[in-house]
């Protein structure tokens, strides 16, 4: 009897969690979206007075910061992809004497606070300026390099995980049919690891776009990224145009995730990670 009650209680808790957890994740976005359509800007759902005023009044500097953040995210993603994919292949298939050390080194930045990475990058840039007369502080290159430090491990882990269920017999079959190693790589290996690469690129882009700390330390105050721009603006006065811009960004991310999941089966890699 007690076991039956415990089983029923467990099922009830699981069913409640199925509803509570999604609501917990969605409710903050519901508040932002509703406030962006409310004339008063109040967090009420549904809004009592619908308007598009806040969307029409988004200041141009916010769009400039958005374009700059997208540019930095693209460059950071490109850099970690160029570095991370070969490194992942080396960790999985290479005969490296220090493979375990490299594997540990690749995931080490995940346990380091971002503020530590930002301070280290700032001091490193000062050392470069003193030694060679070129400073990375206040430059896009400095932001991209330091953001790559904490985004590269995620891409590497994502690509490595895509090899978890990789069947090496496919490579052997292709070679037996006369395919060269280069053809095996491009026609067999690459198509099978594309979801993992895309997942890693997505992680890298989102983290770069969302970064405040590194962009604050390494960036130029005159050309802030969007997160830095929003953070500094909210310190002075909360503008409801921020909720409108946030709604546009959330909508864009939702569409992007849907497309990636629909056409590249990205959820398999995300769940496996």
Q: What is the pLDDT of residues 193-205, one digit of tens each?
A: 888 888 889 889 9
Share of the chain above pLDDT 90, in %: 12
> Is there a single domain that holds both residue 162 and residue 222?
yes
How many Å apart are CA 270 and CA 109, to the nearest integer? Answer: 20
- Domain region containing 209: 59-236
Same domain assignment for residues 76 and 117: yes
User: Could you give the CA distance from residue 11 to residue 86 in angstroms, rounded to a whole number?
Assistant: 45
| pLDDT recorded at residue 48 | 67
Look at the pTM and tell me if it is higher than 0.85: no
268 and 225 within one domain: no
Digit-coded pLDDT (tens) for 6-48: 667 777 777 777 777 777 777 777 777 777 777 765 555 666 6
DSSP assignment of 90-158, as one string? HHHH---TTHHHHHHHHHGGGGS-HHHHHHHHHHHHHHHHHHHS---TTSHHHHHHHHHHHHHHHHHHH
Please provide residue 38's backbone torsions phi and psi, each rounded to the nearest 5 degrees.
-95, 130
DSSP letter at 185? I
Q: Are residues 39 and 72 in the same domain?
A: no
Residues 29 and 83 reside in one and the same domain: no
User: Which of 35-44, 234-243, 260-269 has the largest mean confidence?
Assistant: 234-243
Q: How far apart are CA 203 and CA 196, in angstroms?
A: 11
Task: Write down the H helix ranges in the chain.
Answer: 2-36, 53-56, 60-93, 99-107, 114-132, 140-162, 169-176, 181-184, 190-210, 213-218, 226-236, 241-264, 266-272
- Mean pLDDT, the chain, integer: 80
Same domain, 220 and 256: no
Statement to judge: residues 152 and 180 lie in one domain? yes
Pair (216, 255) in one structural domain: no
What CATH code is carried by the domain that includes residue 169? 1.10.3720.10
Please check whether residues 150 and 192 belong to one and the same domain: yes
- 166 Cβ neighbours under 8 A, 6+ residues apart: 192, 193
Q: What is the mean pLDDT of residues 151-157?
A: 90
Mean pLDDT over 126-149 rounds to 85
Do 222 and 170 sit in the same domain of this protein? yes
If asked whether residues 222 and 244 sit together in one domain, one would say: no
pLDDT at 83 over 80: yes
Answer yes or no: is pLDDT of 163 > 60: yes
On the question of pLDDT at 273 being above 60, the answer is no
pLDDT for 272 beyond 60: no
Domain count, the chain: 2
Tokens representing 180 are: 């060269």
Helix axes 140-162, 99-107, angle to 10 degrees: 120
Residues 233-246 have a mean pLDDT of 78
Paired strand residues for 38: 50
**Per-residue model confidence (pLDDT) at position 74:** 95
Judgement on whether residues 85 and 174 belong to the same structural domain of the protein? yes
Q: Give the pLDDT confidence score for residue 162 in this predicted structure.
A: 80
């Amino acid at each position: 009897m007690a076991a039956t009650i415990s089983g029923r209680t467990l099922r009830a808790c699981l069913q409640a969690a199925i509803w509570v957890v999604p609501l917990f994740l969605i409710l903050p976005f519901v508040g932002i979206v509703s406030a962006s359509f409310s004339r008063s800007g109040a967090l009420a759902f549904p809004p009592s007075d619908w308007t598009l005023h806040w969307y029409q009044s988004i200041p141009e500097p916010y769009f400039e910061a958005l374009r700059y953040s997208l540019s930095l995210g693209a460059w950071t993603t490109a850099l970690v992809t160029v570095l991370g994919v070969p490194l992942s292949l080396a960790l999985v298939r290479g005969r490296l004497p220090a493979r375990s050390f490299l594997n540990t080194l690749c995931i080490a930045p995940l346990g380091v606070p971002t503020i530590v990475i930002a301070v280290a990058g700032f001091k490193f840039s000062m050392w470069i300026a003193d030694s060679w007369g070129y400073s990375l502080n206040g430059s896009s290159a400095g932001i991209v390099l330091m953001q790559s430090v904490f985004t590269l491990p995620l891409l590497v882990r994502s690509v490595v995980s895509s090899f978890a269920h990789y069947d090496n017999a496919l490579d052997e079959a292709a070679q037996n049919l006369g395919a060269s190693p280069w053809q095996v790589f491009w026609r067999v290996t690459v198509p099978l690891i594309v979801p993992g690469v895309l997942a890693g690129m997505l992680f890298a882009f989102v983290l770069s776009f969302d970064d405040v700390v590194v962009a604050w330390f390494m960036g130029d105050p005159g050309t802030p990224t969007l997160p830095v721009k929003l953070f500094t603006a909210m310190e002075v006065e909360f503008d409801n145009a921020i909720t409108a811009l946030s709604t546009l960004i959330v909508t864009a991310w939702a569409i992007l995730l849907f497309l990636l999941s629909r056409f590249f089966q990205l959820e398999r890699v995300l769940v496996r990670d």
